[in-house]
């Protein structure tokens, strides 16, 4: 029996294709949701749209400090794992559930499978970097999305035989979905799409104010659609920062199909999301990244991404480049082909009996 542990929006999108492929191969599995993301549009909508069965366990931890989230997840997960004793625990990406799951499983002697291993921003100020490093350090099997991830793991002394380059599992879901998504009518015929949720951008009042000012400037060139993450919404409200503009349409977070459709038809994306960097590279949509570094350098070196840091002048310049068709073209990295979950399951099936 294999258990999956997920907690936050990007996890659900990585979970869906793997559960589907494991079902096809009759591997018995159960899903544990830590409950970190709990709003309908941050959680349930993905289970429904992506056809993931209801989690077998929901630990219901909700929001709080990192210590609270990790601590609560550890305590509640420990109870589940002690009772059920799965053969493996699969953890995804770099969220707090990934860290908590790793610590609990390694102490119980349950082998950990880390999906999306090896990514590094080399920025220890980023909570996810710590989560990734711990998960990779203790994982029994590490599935990586790109060559740079293998290099990072080898440089940290992780033994090569544990590492499997399988490609990007987010692209599995994206490929499956692109066939189902139609070009719905959008509010604007041409627009840029915005998502923001990194603490480094939205938890600092001055930074958030500057970003909002920059978005207002961009909206004079082209309207923007901004499905807003709850973290960002809470902070804008707290600091009474107003984004009133007829050229910026703010919505609640949207479901996956709607988001992919918005992304596919956008002139560009302005984002600090890891997953959106990857999806835009795959769909060849220009991606302006409001971060100083990225754990996904391939989206900048090979894909359509540009790291802008806090240079909002450059943001405007890049938007102008895009609108005048001067922006770079990208290419899709190897193994971002929709078959990552198949490769993972093949490795699991071949190795499980040993
Ligand atoms: C988490 C992940 C981050 C990931 C992001 C994806 C960690 C350390 N961070 O950050 O890596 O990129 O998810 O979206 O695990 N909130 C709601 N409703 C919800 C979820 C959150 O209102 O359904 C609010 C919470 O009250 C909280 C804020 O949003 O104040 C932040 O939520 P939290 O889960 O702590 O972190 P994220 O920023 O979502
Ligand atoms: N996404 C979504 N609805 C939204 C915003 C994003 O479905 O309103 C999807 C997006 O397509 C991608 C994933 O959420 O698959 C990215 O998650 P997020 O940006 O929250 O986290 P990160 O990837 O930065 O960890």
**Averaged pLDDT score across all residues of the chain:** 96
Q: What is the pLDDT of residue 23?
A: 98
Cβ 153 vs Cβ 118: under 8 Å: yes
Active-site annotation holder among 197, 220, 221, 229? 197
Q: Which atom of ligand 2 is nearest to the CA of 254?
A: 8
Q: Please calculate the CA angle 332-317-186 and round it to the nearest 5 degrees.
A: 65
Residue in the block written with tokens 């699969």: 90
Residue 302 has pLDDT above 90, yes or no: yes
Lowest-confidence pick of 40-54, 157-171, 175-189, 222-236: 175-189
Task: Summarize the confidence of residues 120-129 as an average pLDDT.
Answer: 97
Q: What is the DSSP letter of 328?
A: P
CATH superfamily for domain 2-168+336-349: Glycogen Phosphorylase B; (3.40.50.2000)
Where are the extended beta strands (E) located within the chain? 2-6, 29-33, 57-58, 88-92, 112-115, 141-144, 163-165, 192-195, 224-227, 248-251, 268-271, 287-289, 305-307
Pocket test for ligand 1, best of 33, 63, 200 (most atoms within 8 A of CB): 63
Q: What is the DSSP letter of 142?
A: E
* Distance from Cα 276 to the centre of ligand 2, integer Å: 6
Nearest CA, atom 13, ligand 2:
10
The CATH number for 180-323, chosen from 1.20.140.10, 3.30.70.260, 3.40.190.10, 3.40.50.2000, is 3.40.50.2000
Task: Summarize the confidence of residues 27-47 as an average pLDDT.
Answer: 98
Cβ 97 vs Cβ 34: under 8 Å: yes
Which band of pLDDT confidence, cut at 50, 70 and 90, is reported for residue 351?
confident
Q: Active site includes 62?
A: no
Residue 347 has pLDDT above 90, yes or no: yes
Pocket test for ligand 1, best of 14, 197, 199 (most atoms within 8 A of CB): 197
Helix or strand or coil: residue 204? coil
Same CATH topology for 2-168+336-349 and 180-323: the answer is yes
Q: What is the pLDDT of residues 65-124, one digit of tens each?
A: 999 999 999 999 999 999 999 999 999 999 999 999 999 999 999 999 999 999 999 999
Domain boundaries, the chain: 2-168+336-349, 180-323
Task: Summarize the confidence of residues 209-237 as an average pLDDT.
Answer: 97
Q: What is the pLDDT of residue 354?
A: 46
Q: What is the pLDDT of residues 163-215, one digit of tens each?
A: 999 999 999 999 999 988 876 667 899 999 999 999 999 999 999 999 999 99
The encoded tokens of residue 123 equal 């920025």
Q: What is the pLDDT of residue 330?
A: 96
- Residues with a CB atom less than 6 Å from ligand 2: 9-10, 13, 170, 195, 197, 227, 253-254, 256, 259-260, 273-276, 279
Task: Summarize the confidence of residues 311-323 as an average pLDDT.
Answer: 96
Q: What is the pLDDT of residue 286?
A: 98
């Amino acid at each position: 029996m294999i258990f999956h542990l997920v907690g936050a929006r990007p996890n659900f999108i990585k979970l869906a294709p793997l559960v589907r492929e494991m079902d096809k191969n009759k591997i018995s599995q159960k899903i544990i949701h830590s409950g970190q993301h709990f709003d309908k549009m941050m959680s349930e909508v993905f289970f429904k749209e992506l056809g993931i069965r209801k989690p077998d366990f929901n630990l219901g931890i909700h929001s709080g400090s990192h210590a609270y989230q990790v601590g609560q997840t550890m305590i509640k997960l420990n109870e589940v794992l002690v009772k059920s004793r799965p053969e493996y625990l699969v953890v995804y990406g770099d969220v707090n559930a990934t860290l908590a799951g790793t610590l609990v499983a390694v102490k119980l002697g349950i082998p950990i499978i880390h999906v999306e291993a090896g990514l590094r921003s080399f920025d220890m100020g980023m909570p996810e970097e710590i989560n990734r490093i711990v998960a990779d350090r203790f994982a029994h099997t590490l599935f990586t999305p790109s060559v740079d991830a293998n290099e990072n793991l080898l440089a940290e002394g992780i033994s090569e035989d544990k590492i499997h380059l399988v490609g990007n599992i987010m692209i599995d879901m994206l490929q499956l979905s692109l066939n189902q998504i139609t070009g719905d009518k959008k509010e604007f015929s041409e627009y840029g799409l915005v998502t923001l949720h990194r603490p480094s951008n939205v938890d600092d009042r001055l930074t958030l104010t500057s970003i909002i000012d920059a978005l207002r400037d961009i909206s004079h060139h082209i309207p923007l659609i901004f499905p807003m993450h709850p973290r960002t919404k809470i902070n804008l409200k707290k600091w009474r920062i107003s984004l009133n503009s007829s050229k910026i349409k703010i919505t609640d977070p949207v479901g996956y199909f709607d988001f992919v459709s918005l992304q596919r038809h956008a002139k560009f994306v302005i984002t600090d999301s890891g997953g959106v960097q990857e999806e835009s590279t795959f769909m060849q949509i220009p991606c302006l990244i409001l971060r100083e570094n990225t754990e996904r350098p391939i989206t900048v070196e090979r894909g359509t991404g540009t790291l802008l840091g806090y240079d909002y002048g450059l943001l405007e310049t890049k938007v102008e480049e895009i609108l005048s068709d001067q922006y770079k073209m990208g290419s899709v990295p190897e193994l971002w082909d929709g078959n990552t979950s198949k490769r993972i399951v093949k490795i699991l099936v071949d190795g499980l009996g040993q």
